Structure 1
Amino acid sequence: MNPLFVKDSLKAFLLEDTYYSDITTDSICSNRPAKAIIRAKEDFVLAGSIFIEPLLKLMDEAFCVELFKHDGDSVRAGDAIAEVESTDRALLYIERTCLNILQRLSGIATKAYTFADILKPYKTRITDTRKTTPGFRFFEKYAVSVGGGKNHRMGLFDAVLIKDNHIKAAGGIKRAVELARRGVSFTTKIEVECSDIGEVEEAIASGVDIVMLDNMSLGQMKEVVSLFRGEVVFEASGNINEDNLRDIAEIGIDYISSGSIIHHACWVDINMKLE
């Protein structure tokens, strides 16, 4: 985790809310010493607590944060997550930004944990996608890992994923893979999205590392895995939910990718109260 990236991102989040100033707080508060408790109001898996300290540091160098719960912990309604000592002004400046991060990331971690827990008896692992909030991807993917999920590629820069539009642009899977191999390092893995058995066969013959079975039926996936087991890594994607995870895992799929663990995750309820 690059601390410079984290600092710059947190600063941007804080500036979005405060811009020139917090006119309410600046009118009322006078930089007196103050203490606040961050507390859970429902049950969830915590994520984002590691960002409380660097966020507060942007407002006050002389502060104290005591964490009672850490990222990955199961939190119960009423549990104190952290005690924060600073000035009244600093605490009120960062309150909403801090809670937004904790509530959003904890919701994602909780959703990811639910999926990962269902898959525990199997070799299959749940992974995220690039369906993330612009500007917040790193944090959302961090929350997935906290919840027990795996991260797919972070962006367009760290892995090759040839999708249907790439295949059309190149004129076919084989040609797309050949062009990709020429354009990237030999250390870079190549994945191809396939929608039927014929495409899977062509992708494997082209020497890909990972085959994504996109929106295939259980019957199609069973046939593919039985024919090509062990030749590549298989990823299932499309219409993934908690009801069909086990059925897909039982086929022997290596990874199941789901955007819903991020974009369908509900915020959890957390508050911050001055003492």
Structure 2
Amino acid sequence: MAVTAFDATELGWIDPIVDRVLEEDLARGDVTSRAVVPPVANARARLVAKAPCVVAGLPVFARVFERIDSQVRVEARVEDGTAVDAGTELAVVFGRARSILAGERSALNLLGRASGVATATRTFVEAAGGMVVADTRKTMPGLRALDRYAVRVGGGRNHRDDLGAAVLIKENHARIAGGVAAAVRAAKACVGHMTKVSCEVTNLDEVRAALEAGAEVLLLDNMTDDDVAEAVRIVAGRAVVEASGGLAPERLARLAAAGVNVASVGAITHSAPAADLSLLFDPPGDGP
């Protein structure tokens, strides 16, 4: 399995995901393959994109088969991050037919999910005019590491990994604390000077209040283009300005022109359709 520049330092998260998925699908084995496929039968199968996509997750795809049968071999034809057209051959799988069939659906599910996220991310990144596009915590339960990897492959950046990774004061935090200013002051008193405090704001009064209280990152939530531009003027470089809330690709260029630093987009993970992929077995006797 060729490891691309995208995943060389981050393979540690793959096996837990793969093992959970295989346990879900193979806890009772593969009764159909046991019934109709001879145990000694070998096969060659081609992984093909049925629609255009940005490929992400080939190391995960290969690892599914390796965890089932160490003798199965996966030869990648492209690298993660490659934009491909329909009909492109992405990889070839060789090995025992039963082993390939046992891993087929799990491998396709993971690769299709990751490639769908990478494809959606690339769409937003290409529309952003150089502005950073980041994900959110709106990821598939149990697959956050895969989703975050796919975002990076698509050209985006990751937001906080979990609730312990950074301070981000949201609307409900502010309500309980008595407003954004009180919440920011409480957070800064708790975490110390080495940790940035981010605060979600929904109007210009909250922008001013959070900024004066010392917030280092302001997350402009569901604000109009005019209010975003005014918020950037008020901030005047004193904090990172991040926009969020139902953002569409066609809006990103306007946000970038207004001076927004980061667009955080939940849709690249929570609404990305899976890439359309197939694993096609060659007829018995066909050569490579």
TM-score by length of 2: 0.90
Match of 1:131 in 2: 138
Match of 1:159 in 2: 166
CA distance in 2, matches of 1:267, 1:128: 17
CA distance in 1, matches of 2:184, 2:12: 36
CA positional deviation for 1:172 = 2.2
Structure 1 unmatched runs, 5+: none
CA distance in 2, matches of 1:177, 1:225: 19
CA positional deviation for 1:180 = 2.0
| SS of the residue 2:122 aligns to | helix
CA positional deviation for 1:144 = 1.1
Q: Which of 70, 77, 93 does residue 102 from structure 2 map onto? A: 93
Structure 1 counterpart of 2:253, one-letter code: R
CA positional deviation for 1:2 = 4.8
Match of 2:212 in 1: 205
Q: Output the aligned Cα RMSD.
A: 1.5
CA distance in 1, matches of 2:71, 2:238: 57
CA offset digits 1:35-91 (Å, max 9, x no partner): 211111111111111112221111111222111011100111111100111211110
Structure 1 counterpart of 2:191, one-letter code: V
Structure 2 counterpart of 1:8, one-letter code: P
CA distance in 1, matches of 2:15, 2:159: 24
CA positional deviation for 1:220 = 0.8
Contact kept? 2:62, 2:107, Cα under 8 Å? no
Contact kept? 2:58, 2:80, Cα under 8 Å? yes
CA positional deviation for 1:187 = 2.9
Match of 1:14 in 2: 22
Match of 1:241 in 2: 248
- Provide the aligned length of Structure 1 versus Structure 2: 273
Percent identity, please.
36
Deviates more, 1:24-33 or 1:250-259: 24-33
CA distance in 1, matches of 2:34, 2:189: 58
TM-score by length of 1: 0.94
- Aligned ranges 1:38-57 → 2 under 5 Å: 38-57=47-66
Structure 2 counterpart of 1:24, one-letter code: T
Match of 1:269 in 2: 276
Structure 2 counterpart of 1:12, one-letter code: R
**Is 1:106 aligned to residue 109 of structure 2?**
no
**Is 1:26 aligned to residue 42 of structure 2?**
no
CA distance in 1, matches of 2:156, 2:35: 45
CA offset digits 1:104-143 (Å, max 9, x no partner): 21111111111101123x4x11111111111111111211
Contact kept? 1:31, 1:90, Cα under 8 Å? no
CA positional deviation for 1:210 = 0.5
| SS of the residue 2:176 aligns to | helix
| SS of the residue 2:250 aligns to | coil
- Aligned ranges 1:48-197 → 2 under 5 Å: 48-120=57-129, 122=130, 124-184=131-191, 186-197=193-204
CA offset digits 1:161-203 (Å, max 9, x no partner): 1011001111222332233234336432211000111111111
Structure 1 counterpart of 2:42, one-letter code: P
Match of 1:250 in 2: 257
Contact kept? 1:116, 1:149, Cα under 8 Å? yes
Structure 2 unmatched runs, 5+: 1-8, 283-288
Structure 1 counterpart of 2:135, one-letter code: D
